[in-house]
Chains A and B, each alone.
Chain A
Protein backbone atom coordinates (compact mmCIF):
# COMPACT_ATOMS: atom_id res chain seq x y z
CA UNK A 1 0.00 0.00 0.00
CA UNK A 2 1.62 3.26 -1.05
CA UNK A 3 2.39 5.76 1.69
CA UNK A 4 0.38 8.93 1.59
CA UNK A 5 2.32 12.09 0.73
CA UNK A 6 1.68 13.70 4.13
CA UNK A 7 3.15 10.76 6.04
CA UNK A 8 6.29 10.93 3.90
CA UNK A 9 6.63 14.61 4.51
CA UNK A 10 6.34 14.16 8.26
CA UNK A 11 8.76 11.24 8.18
CA UNK A 12 11.38 13.36 6.44
CA UNK A 13 10.79 16.75 8.07
CA UNK A 14 10.64 15.78 11.74
CA UNK A 15 14.27 14.62 12.10
CA UNK A 16 15.36 17.61 10.05
CA UNK A 17 13.53 20.02 12.36
CA UNK A 18 15.00 18.32 15.40
CA UNK A 19 18.46 18.61 13.94
CA UNK A 20 17.98 22.30 13.11
CA UNK A 21 16.79 23.06 16.66
CA UNK A 22 19.79 21.26 18.15
CA UNK A 23 22.20 23.15 15.90
CA UNK A 24 20.48 26.44 16.75
CA UNK A 25 20.85 25.75 20.49
CA UNK A 26 24.51 24.88 20.06
CA UNK A 27 25.12 28.11 18.15
CA UNK A 28 23.27 30.15 20.75
CA UNK A 29 25.25 28.56 23.61
CA UNK A 30 28.50 29.13 21.80
CA UNK A 31 27.64 32.77 21.07
CA UNK A 32 26.50 33.41 24.63
CA UNK A 33 29.68 31.87 25.97
CA UNK A 34 31.75 34.01 23.66
CA UNK A 35 29.88 37.16 24.66
CA UNK A 36 30.25 36.32 28.36
CA UNK A 37 33.97 35.74 27.87
CA UNK A 38 34.28 39.01 26.00
CA UNK A 39 32.44 40.92 28.74
CA UNK A 40 34.59 39.33 31.44
CA UNK A 41 37.76 40.19 29.52
CA UNK A 42 36.51 43.75 29.00
CA UNK A 43 35.83 44.16 32.72
CA UNK A 44 39.17 42.63 33.63
CA UNK A 45 41.04 44.99 31.29
CA UNK A 46 39.18 48.02 32.68
CA UNK A 47 37.45 48.63 29.39
CA UNK A 48 34.13 49.38 31.08
CA UNK A 49 35.72 52.07 33.25
CA UNK A 50 37.36 53.59 30.20
CA UNK A 51 34.06 53.63 28.32
CA UNK A 52 32.27 55.23 31.27
CA UNK A 53 35.05 57.79 31.63
CA UNK A 54 34.82 58.63 27.95
CA UNK A 55 31.03 58.94 28.15
CA UNK A 56 31.37 61.32 31.08
CA UNK A 57 34.24 63.26 29.50
CA UNK A 58 32.39 63.86 26.27
CA UNK A 59 29.21 64.86 28.10
CA UNK A 60 27.20 62.03 26.66
CA UNK A 61 25.76 61.06 30.06
CA UNK A 62 24.85 64.68 30.75
CA UNK A 63 23.16 65.04 27.37
CA UNK A 64 21.28 61.77 27.87
CA UNK A 65 20.06 62.83 31.32
CA UNK A 66 19.06 66.21 29.85
CA UNK A 67 17.13 64.46 27.12
CA UNK A 68 15.36 62.24 29.68
CA UNK A 69 14.37 65.29 31.71
CA UNK A 70 13.38 67.17 28.58
CA UNK A 71 11.06 64.32 27.79
CA UNK A 72 8.21 65.51 30.02
CA UNK A 73 6.40 62.19 29.91
CA UNK A 74 9.31 60.29 31.46
CA UNK A 75 9.65 62.77 34.33
CA UNK A 76 5.91 62.78 34.93
CA UNK A 77 5.83 59.01 35.00
CA UNK A 78 8.80 58.91 37.36
CA UNK A 79 7.15 61.44 39.69
CA UNK A 80 3.87 59.55 39.56
CA UNK A 81 5.55 56.27 40.45
CA UNK A 82 7.50 57.92 43.23
CA UNK A 83 4.34 59.41 44.76
CA UNK A 84 2.57 56.06 44.52
CA UNK A 85 5.50 54.30 46.17
CA UNK A 86 4.90 53.46 49.83
CA UNK A 87 8.64 53.36 50.44
CA UNK A 88 8.88 57.05 49.59
CA UNK A 89 6.42 58.00 52.33
CA UNK A 90 8.16 55.76 54.82
CA UNK A 91 11.38 57.57 53.90
CA UNK A 92 9.69 60.97 54.23
CA UNK A 93 8.35 59.99 57.67
CA UNK A 94 11.78 58.81 58.74
CA UNK A 95 13.39 62.04 57.61
CA UNK A 96 10.66 64.19 59.19
CA UNK A 97 11.09 62.43 62.54
CA UNK A 98 14.86 62.50 62.48
CA UNK A 99 16.41 64.50 65.34
CA UNK A 100 18.35 66.69 62.92
CA UNK A 101 15.21 67.80 61.09
CA UNK A 102 13.09 68.34 64.23
CA UNK A 103 15.94 70.28 65.80
CA UNK A 104 16.29 72.43 62.71
CA UNK A 105 12.53 73.16 62.65
CA UNK A 106 12.53 74.02 66.36
CA UNK A 107 15.54 76.27 65.91
CA UNK A 108 13.91 78.02 63.00
CA UNK A 109 10.61 78.47 64.89
CA UNK A 110 12.38 79.88 67.94
CA UNK A 111 14.40 82.14 65.69
CA UNK A 112 11.23 83.38 64.05
CA UNK A 113 9.52 84.05 67.41
CA UNK A 114 12.65 85.89 68.58
CA UNK A 115 12.65 87.93 65.40
CA UNK A 116 8.98 88.89 65.81
CA UNK A 117 9.45 89.70 69.52
CA UNK A 118 12.51 91.80 68.70
CA UNK A 119 10.56 93.75 66.11
CA UNK A 120 7.67 94.31 68.57
CA UNK A 121 10.13 95.52 71.23
CA UNK A 122 11.78 97.92 68.83
CA UNK A 123 8.48 99.35 67.63
CA UNK A 124 7.03 99.63 71.14
CA UNK A 125 10.08 101.59 72.30
CA UNK A 126 9.86 104.04 69.45
CA UNK A 127 6.09 104.33 70.13
CA UNK A 128 6.93 105.11 73.78
CA UNK A 129 9.26 107.88 72.73
CA UNK A 130 6.71 109.37 70.32
CA UNK A 131 3.88 109.16 72.86
CA UNK A 132 5.96 110.86 75.54
CA UNK A 133 7.08 113.63 73.20
CA UNK A 134 3.43 114.26 72.26
CA UNK A 135 2.31 114.22 75.93
CA UNK A 136 5.05 116.62 77.02
CA UNK A 137 4.33 118.91 74.10
CA UNK A 138 0.63 118.92 75.02
CA UNK A 139 1.47 119.96 78.60
CA UNK A 140 4.15 122.42 77.36
CA UNK A 141 6.83 120.56 79.28
CA UNK A 142 10.41 120.34 77.95
CA UNK A 143 10.66 117.40 75.55
Chain B
Protein backbone atom coordinates (compact mmCIF):
# COMPACT_ATOMS: atom_id res chain seq x y z
CA UNK B 1 0.00 0.00 0.00
CA UNK B 2 1.46 3.33 -1.02
CA UNK B 3 0.85 6.26 1.35
CA UNK B 4 1.07 9.68 -0.18
CA UNK B 5 3.41 12.42 0.95
CA UNK B 6 3.21 16.09 1.78
CA UNK B 7 4.07 17.55 -1.64
CA UNK B 8 1.57 15.42 -3.56
CA UNK B 9 -1.16 16.15 -1.04
CA UNK B 10 -0.36 19.87 -1.02
CA UNK B 11 -0.69 20.03 -4.81
CA UNK B 12 -4.03 18.21 -4.64
CA UNK B 13 -5.20 20.60 -1.93
CA UNK B 14 -4.08 23.62 -3.97
CA UNK B 15 -6.12 22.36 -6.94
CA UNK B 16 -9.14 21.95 -4.68
CA UNK B 17 -8.65 25.42 -3.22
CA UNK B 18 -8.51 26.82 -6.75
CA UNK B 19 -11.74 25.02 -7.72
CA UNK B 20 -13.53 26.16 -4.56
CA UNK B 21 -12.44 29.76 -4.92
CA UNK B 22 -13.04 30.03 -8.67
CA UNK B 23 -16.61 28.82 -8.26
CA UNK B 24 -17.14 31.03 -5.21
CA UNK B 25 -15.75 34.08 -7.03
CA UNK B 26 -17.95 33.42 -10.07
CA UNK B 27 -21.08 33.03 -7.96
CA UNK B 28 -20.13 36.01 -5.78
CA UNK B 29 -19.58 38.20 -8.85
CA UNK B 30 -22.99 37.29 -10.29
CA UNK B 31 -24.74 37.99 -6.96
CA UNK B 32 -22.81 41.25 -6.47
CA UNK B 33 -23.72 42.43 -9.98
CA UNK B 34 -27.38 41.61 -9.37
CA UNK B 35 -27.36 43.49 -6.08
CA UNK B 36 -25.49 46.46 -7.56
CA UNK B 37 -28.48 47.39 -9.73
CA UNK B 38 -30.77 47.42 -6.70
CA UNK B 39 -30.56 50.07 -4.03
CA UNK B 40 -30.35 48.19 -0.75
CA UNK B 41 -29.91 49.73 2.70
CA UNK B 42 -26.56 49.47 4.46
CA UNK B 43 -27.76 47.01 7.08
CA UNK B 44 -28.98 44.69 4.36
CA UNK B 45 -25.63 44.88 2.58
CA UNK B 46 -23.90 43.92 5.83
CA UNK B 47 -26.31 41.06 6.30
CA UNK B 48 -25.71 39.90 2.72
CA UNK B 49 -21.94 39.92 3.27
CA UNK B 50 -22.43 37.78 6.39
CA UNK B 51 -24.69 35.41 4.47
CA UNK B 52 -22.09 35.28 1.68
CA UNK B 53 -19.38 34.38 4.21
CA UNK B 54 -21.54 31.67 5.73
CA UNK B 55 -22.37 30.35 2.26
CA UNK B 56 -18.67 30.22 1.41
CA UNK B 57 -17.93 28.30 4.60
CA UNK B 58 -20.76 25.85 3.93
CA UNK B 59 -19.65 25.44 0.33
CA UNK B 60 -16.08 24.64 1.44
CA UNK B 61 -17.23 22.16 4.10
CA UNK B 62 -19.72 20.60 1.69
CA UNK B 63 -17.13 20.26 -1.03
CA UNK B 64 -14.64 18.29 1.07
CA UNK B 65 -17.07 16.22 3.10
CA UNK B 66 -19.13 15.25 0.06
CA UNK B 67 -16.14 14.11 -1.98
CA UNK B 68 -14.38 12.38 0.92
CA UNK B 69 -17.47 10.51 2.04
CA UNK B 70 -18.62 9.48 -1.44
CA UNK B 71 -15.72 8.74 -3.76
CA UNK B 72 -12.89 9.38 -1.28
CA UNK B 73 -11.41 11.71 -3.86
CA UNK B 74 -11.77 15.43 -4.41
CA UNK B 75 -11.06 16.66 -7.96
CA UNK B 76 -7.55 17.60 -6.81
CA UNK B 77 -7.07 14.11 -5.36
CA UNK B 78 -8.29 12.60 -8.58
CA UNK B 79 -5.80 14.65 -10.57
CA UNK B 80 -2.98 13.48 -8.32
CA UNK B 81 -4.41 9.94 -8.21
CA UNK B 82 -4.69 9.80 -4.42
CA UNK B 83 -7.58 8.74 -2.20
CA UNK B 84 -8.62 9.39 1.39
CA UNK B 85 -9.86 6.37 3.30
CA UNK B 86 -10.11 5.02 6.83
CA UNK B 87 -7.08 3.27 8.28
CA UNK B 88 -8.76 -0.05 7.49
CA UNK B 89 -9.25 0.98 3.86
CA UNK B 90 -12.99 1.64 4.13
CA UNK B 91 -14.74 4.78 2.92
CA UNK B 92 -15.18 7.72 5.30
CA UNK B 93 -18.56 8.53 6.82
CA UNK B 94 -19.87 12.10 6.61
CA UNK B 95 -19.15 12.62 10.31
CA UNK B 96 -15.58 11.41 9.99
CA UNK B 97 -15.13 13.68 6.94
CA UNK B 98 -16.26 16.68 8.99
CA UNK B 99 -13.90 15.63 11.79
CA UNK B 100 -11.03 15.38 9.31
CA UNK B 101 -11.83 18.85 7.97
CA UNK B 102 -11.82 20.27 11.50
CA UNK B 103 -8.48 18.52 12.05
CA UNK B 104 -7.19 20.02 8.82
CA UNK B 105 -8.06 23.50 10.05
CA UNK B 106 -6.46 22.82 13.45
CA UNK B 107 -3.32 21.51 11.73
CA UNK B 108 -3.03 24.71 9.71
CA UNK B 109 -3.46 27.10 12.63
CA UNK B 110 0.01 26.70 14.26
CA UNK B 111 1.84 27.76 11.07
CA UNK B 112 0.97 24.44 9.39
CA UNK B 113 2.89 22.54 12.05
CA UNK B 114 0.08 20.01 12.15
CA UNK B 115 1.16 18.75 8.75
CA UNK B 116 4.77 18.07 9.77
CA UNK B 117 4.03 14.56 11.10
CA UNK B 118 3.39 13.56 7.46
CA UNK B 119 7.16 13.77 6.97
CA UNK B 120 7.97 11.36 9.81
CA UNK B 121 4.99 9.08 10.30
CA UNK B 122 5.26 5.58 8.83
CA UNK B 123 1.87 5.96 7.21
CA UNK B 124 2.47 9.61 6.33
CA UNK B 125 -0.38 10.84 8.53
CA UNK B 126 -0.90 14.45 9.52
CA UNK B 127 -2.65 15.68 12.64
CA UNK B 128 -6.01 15.59 10.85
CA UNK B 129 -5.43 12.00 9.74
CA UNK B 130 -4.56 10.93 13.28
CA UNK B 131 -7.63 12.73 14.60
CA UNK B 132 -10.02 11.18 12.09
CA UNK B 133 -8.26 7.81 11.76
CA UNK B 134 -7.65 8.24 8.05
CA UNK B 135 -4.82 7.68 5.60
CA UNK B 136 -4.14 9.00 2.12
CA UNK B 137 -3.19 6.33 -0.37
CA UNK B 138 -2.49 6.06 -4.07
CA UNK B 139 -5.85 5.58 -5.75
CA UNK B 140 -4.52 2.86 -8.02
CA UNK B 141 -3.49 0.61 -5.11
CA UNK B 142 -6.16 -1.56 -3.44
CA UNK B 143 -7.17 -0.71 0.10
CA UNK B 144 -5.35 -2.87 2.61
CA UNK B 145 -5.01 -2.85 6.34
CA UNK B 146 -1.82 -0.92 6.95
CA UNK B 147 0.86 -1.90 9.44
CA UNK B 148 0.71 -0.09 12.77
CA UNK B 149 2.78 3.06 12.98
Contact = CB atoms under 8 A, between A and B. Distances in A.
Contact of B79 (A117, A131, A139): A117
Contacts, number: 39
B116 to A, nearest CB: 8
A4 B120 CA distance: 131
A132 interface: yes
Contacts of B81: 121
B4 interface: yes
A16 interface: no
B11 A128 contact: no
B35 to A, nearest CB: 37
A74 interface: no
Contacts of B119: 131-132, 135-136
Nearest to A125: B8
A129 interface: yes
A137 to B, nearest CB: 11
B82 to A, nearest CB: 9
A128 B8 contact: yes
Nearest to B81: A121
B6 interface: yes
B92 to A, nearest CB: 23
Given A124-B8, A132-B5, A132-B119, 19 more contacts: A117-B79, A117-B80, A120-B80, A121-B8, A121-B80, A124-B5, A124-B11, A125-B4, A125-B8, A128-B4, A128-B5, A128-B6, A128-B7, A128-B8, A131-B119, A132-B120, A135-B119, A136-B120, A139-B120
